[in-house]
Amino acid sequence: MIRPTARILAAAAVAAMFFPVQSHAFSIDELFGGSPVNEELAAQVPQDKRQAINKADDTLACAGKDLELAKLKEDLADRQDDLANLGAKLAKSQARGARLALDIAKMQAIIENKLGNLEDNSKIINDLKSDASKNLDEQTGYQRKIDTATLYVRDWTQRVANKEKDVADFKLNRCGVKTAPVATTPQPTGGVEAGISGENVQPAQNDDATVIVHQEPATPDQDQETPAGKSDSESTLQD
């Protein structure tokens, strides 16, 4: 049996191959275009006349750091959305599995009590068991993606926290601006509890929380929509 950590690391390695992390390095000139100011002339301004220039340059440097942090947080929010979407799809798949398990239990009771047509009943229960097996495979696939996405969000959350500290230190030293501490985004946890085909399926556990740096989750193969009228418990990612 493959340990959960080995499964998570394998999924993360695959994600690293196909979904490399994009660089956040950029310049103000690249973002807003070049300045019309003749920099050679500006460089000739005497040092004792450059107070306003130096102050504005410091302000721009601090604004650039704030922008880097904002873009990093934006990327984190995107990853959290990806994880939430995977959780919703897993919950839908689990609900489908529970429905199949109920149908199988009913058909088993019908057959055991010799009700209805035996041939028709046999076909129905065989079809249900086949669907249940496919559903279990689907749940397993979603859980693997959730495992990888969870580690990725944890890593990204840590990088945001580190960036917040770096930006605060930079602004204090460069611009004399003291930044209030920011609450860290809670880290997600993964896990599945599902049962189909009348059998108990053990939940997947992230018992060894290994942080994978610069990994990105794969997207699910199927884009399933959550049906209307679904309960809150079916739309929530299992911890």
pLDDT of the residue at 28: 72
Query: pLDDT of 87-101, one tens digit each?
Result: 999 999 999 999 999
pLDDT of the residue at 201: 39
Residue 55 pLDDT exceeds 70: yes
Higher pLDDT, 205 or 121: 121
Contact 94, 192 (CB under 8 A): yes
Mean pLDDT across 56-80: 94
Helix or strand run (H / E) with residue 194? strand 194-196
DSSP string, 13-68: HHHHHHSPPPP----HHHHH---SS-HHHHHTS-GGG-HHHHHHHHHHHHHHHHHH
Residue 42 pLDDT exceeds 60: yes
pLDDT of the residue at 239: 40
Q: What's the predicted TM-score (pTM) here? A: 0.62
| Residue matched to tokens 């504005």 | 56
Task: Select from 110, 109, 104 the least CA-distant residue to 132.
Answer: 104
Please tell me the distance from the alpha carbon of residue 45 to that of residue 51, in angstroms, as a whole number. 10
pLDDT of the residue at 177: 75
State the chain's mean pLDDT as an integer: 76
Query: pLDDT of 188-227, one tens digit each?
Result: 544 443 333 344 434 444 444 344 444 444 444 444 444 4
Higher pLDDT, 67 or 183: 67
- H and E: helices and strands count for the chain: 5, 2
Q: Provide the pLDDT confidence category of residue 63 given band limits of 50, 70 and 90.
A: very high
Residue 33 pLDDT exceeds 90: no
Query: pLDDT of 139-183, one tens digit each?
Result: 999 999 999 999 999 999 999 999 999 999 999 998 887 766 555
Please tell me the distance from the alpha carbon of residue 89 to that of residue 138, in angstroms, as a whole number. 10
